[in-house]
Amino acid sequence: MNPRRLSSLIFWLLLITLLAACSRSSASPTAADFQSPTLEQRASTPSAAPPSPTAPALAASVNGWAITLAEYQVQLALFQAAFPITATEALSPTQAAQQVLDNLINEALLAQAAQEAGYRVDDASLQTRLDQLAASLGSPQALDDWIANMGFDADTFRMALRRAMAAAWMRDQIINAVPTTAEQLHVRQILLYNSNDAEQMLAQLQHGADFTTLAFEQDPVTGGDLGWFPRGYLTEPEVEAAAFLLQPGQYSPIITTPMGFHIVQVIEREAQRPLEPSARLILQEKALQGWLQNRYSQSEVKIFVP
């Protein structure tokens, strides 16, 4: 099961954390193959009624909250500047622009939910965070210079920081609600790459061959040991679904996935086992993604940029 790549959504979450410095669990998202809802999924074609010429130009609006074109352009520049450290150089300009807009919309959805939950970023908390940022840069003037260099004015930056702090708070509520224990399996697999070999392997098992011995013949290093995992962890859902139908000692029929032909055996099963950090990480990512998709489906989002 392959490691997951750093996604644009997780990069955005790291940006929120940098700006907001809100508390988060030690297992909160840092990496994985995890995509935010796309503009196509949202069916959000450019609005036929853009803002009036006297109002600030908008990139989007989320339930009436404005995302200004100026802020979107600044965030896009920041995102592009971060390419060398986030391994996103391969993105086209169109893909980068879409990801930044998605991230800003997701941030607005989270911040609105935080407000509905009663969370408020008061002026004292905002000033404390500004002071922390100034100290990290060396002085208040250094912070002012950085804000100006990024294309923000002071008021716009404070507004963006306030929203980021609220979004980070709501994000933490969602990911910290993921339990620390879950039903889990300890599984071994035999993975083959053509159906004839898989059929022959299954026949050997059905005639009494030892699963572990055959697994080590195919994978001398690990013996096909997948370790412990909960539901929602494996990248091949068909393998996971088949495994959770088994009891310890039982093995599955052949399971076909894009990776190949799998036969899995359950070694152990526990109803409530503490989650490994990597497993809880993935469940947190899925919880956040599911929350964002559900929230988006209930929201009015208008897009004013291509």
The total number of structural domains that make up the chain: 2
Instruction: List the one residue out of 257, 259, 255, 264 whose CA is nearest residue 223.
Output: 264
* Dihedral, CA of residue 161, residue 167, residue 170 and residue 176, to nearest 10: -90
In a domain, 192, yes or no: yes
Task: Name the band, by pLDDT with cuts 50, 70 and 90, for residue 150.
Answer: confident
In a domain, 161, yes or no: yes
Q: What is the pLDDT of residues 76-116, one digit of tens each?
A: 988 888 776 655 667 888 999 999 999 999 999 999 999 99
CATH assignment of the domain containing 296? 1.10.4030.10
Pull the structure tokens for residue 232: 């929602």
Q: What is the mean pLDDT of the chain?
A: 84
In a domain, 12, yes or no: yes
The pLDDT assigned to 152 comes to 80
Q: Which domain holds residue 136?
A: 8-178+280-303
In a domain, 249, yes or no: yes
In the numeric block, the tokens 């990776």 are attached to 259
In a domain, 2, yes or no: no
Q: Which residues contact 286 (CB under 8 A, 6 or more apart)?
A: 34, 232
The pLDDT assigned to 44 comes to 42
Q: What is the pLDDT of residues 188-223, one digit of tens each?
A: 999 999 999 999 999 999 999 999 999 999 999 999
Tell me how crowded residue 95 is: count the other CB atoms within 10 A of its CB: 12
In the predicted model, what is the mean pLDDT of residues 212-237? 96
Q: DSSP characters for 120-167?
A: ---HHHHHHHHHHHHHHHTSHHHHHHHHHHTT--HHHHHHHHHHHHHH
In a domain, 3, yes or no: no
**138 in the same domain as 65:** yes
**143 in the same domain as 202:** no
Q: What is the CA radius of gyration of the chain?
A: 24
Pairwise CA distance, residues 222 & 199, whole Å: 22
Pairwise CA distance, residues 110 & 164, whole Å: 9
The pLDDT assigned to 85 comes to 60
**127 in the same domain as 91:** yes
**46 in the same domain as 76:** yes
Instruction: List the one residue out of 262, 287, 144, 269 whose CA is nearest residue 194.
Output: 262
In the numeric block, the tokens 């013949």 are attached to 217
CATH assignment of the domain containing 229? 3.10.50.40
The pLDDT assigned to 147 comes to 87
**136 in the same domain as 96:** yes
Pull the structure tokens for residue 66: 């404005």
The pLDDT assigned to 89 comes to 64
- Positive or negative: CA dihedral 213, 219, 220, 226: negative
Cα 200 to chain center, whole Å? 40
Least confident of 64-78, 194-208, 287-301: 64-78
**148 in the same domain as 50:** yes
**269 in the same domain as 174:** no
In the predicted model, what is the mean pLDDT of residues 60-87? 85
Q: What is the pLDDT of residues 266-275, one digit of tens each?
A: 999 999 999 9
Question: Does the pLDDT of residue 16 top 60, yes or no?
Answer: no
**Per-residue exposure over 244-269, b if at least 16 CB sit within 10 Å of its own CB, e if not:** bebeeeebbeebeeeebbbbbbbbeb
**249 in the same domain as 172:** no
3-class secondary-structure state, position 102? helix
**207 in the same domain as 76:** no
**138 in the same domain as 95:** yes
**167 in the same domain as 79:** yes
In a domain, 91, yes or no: yes
Q: Is-contact 200 273, C-beta < 8 A? A: no
**285 in the same domain as 259:** no
Please calculate the CA angle 175-180-185 and round it to the nearest 5 degrees.
120
Task: Name the band, by pLDDT with cuts 50, 70 and 90, for residue 295.
Answer: very high
Pull the structure tokens for residue 192: 């083959």
Instruction: List the one residue out of 94, 47, 92 whose CA is nearest residue 67.
Output: 47
In a domain, 1, yes or no: no
Whether this prediction's pTM lies above 0.95 is answered by no
In the predicted model, what is the mean pLDDT of residues 35-57? 46
The pLDDT assigned to 149 comes to 85
* Percent of the chain at pLDDT exceeding 70: 80
Q: Which residues contact 62 (CB under 8 A, 6 or more apart)?
A: 105, 108, 109, 112, 299, 300, 301
Task: Name the band, by pLDDT with cuts 50, 70 and 90, for residue 54.
Answer: low
